[in-house]
Structure 1
Amino acid sequence: MEAVISALGLNATLVAQIFNFIVLLIFLRVVVYKPIVNVLEQRQKAIADNVTAAENERKEAEALRQSYLAEMQKSKEEAQAIIQQATKAGEAQAQQILEAAKAESARIKDSALAEIEREKEKAVAELREQVVTLSILVANKVVSKKITDDVQHDMVREFIKEAGDLPC
């Protein structure tokens, strides 16, 4: 080996330094390099996991946002349906009130017409009674007097005068 060292022009110090360097490399590879590589791999894995988790959370957040938007739309539609139902119910109630008012108006009108008819019949009955009374009076006067043209004219005038004094 000394022959090889002298042929290459190396001295013992240089060979010792090369040997020390190789031992140092082996020591670093065994003791330091593996833990550093492990730490770096763990860090890289943690970063990749964080990126994956963040992407998954972003997807979940987007899905949640979409579900909230869908629920909001559904709520809006339900509110609109409730408003439409309330409007229809209000219109139906207003229609019922109008129909009830019309029915009450017709009932009052019919009642008034019936009352007018009763009063009319009552007035006609009273008028007939008065006509009968007047007819009896006229007949009494006619029977009591002999009818001549002058008497007949006087009786008609008297009858008209008495009829004009009646309250009808």
Structure 2
Amino acid sequence: MGDPGTPAFQVDKYPFYRLNRLVGRYNAIIDARLRAIDLDIPSWRVLMILGEQAPRGVREIAEAAVIPLSTMTRIIQRMAAAGLVASSASAEDARVTEVSLLDLGESKLAEAREATAPVYARIIDGFSARDFEKLLALLGRLDENLEGLR
């Protein structure tokens, strides 16, 4: 089953090779579409996360985007300078910096959704709802199995 610890290992049977290859190919396609609308992938991730729920703390955004906190802080600062987001101290906990979408960010999010939706539609073409739910469940199991490992 793709075990890299065995002599019978085959890279194309290794799920993480397949996942990395898929993500790499997807990001290359998405990157070109996003650059055409003056966005990069990290900023797109932030917009998508905030589009789901805002405001959110920088740490929460970093965790959802799978980007280190220090890097996310710089991304948020860059996006704020571009007028896409605003950040401020949380009213509940001044140690938490909350990030919200500005009007330009909302507009850019709509553009990004329009630019990337056809790619997503193509990727899931031919998947039934049941297949898709099974895929998500299996990926969730892999993720859960990683808990506690370092």
- TM-score category of the 2 structures, normalised to the smaller one: under 0.3
Q: Identify which of structures 1 and 2 has the higher relative contact order when contacts are C-alpha pairs closer than 8 Å and 6+ apart.
A: 2
The structure whose residues are more often strand, as a share, is 2
TM-score (normalised: structure 2): 0.27
Larger Rg: 1
Give the TM-score, by structure 1 length: 0.25
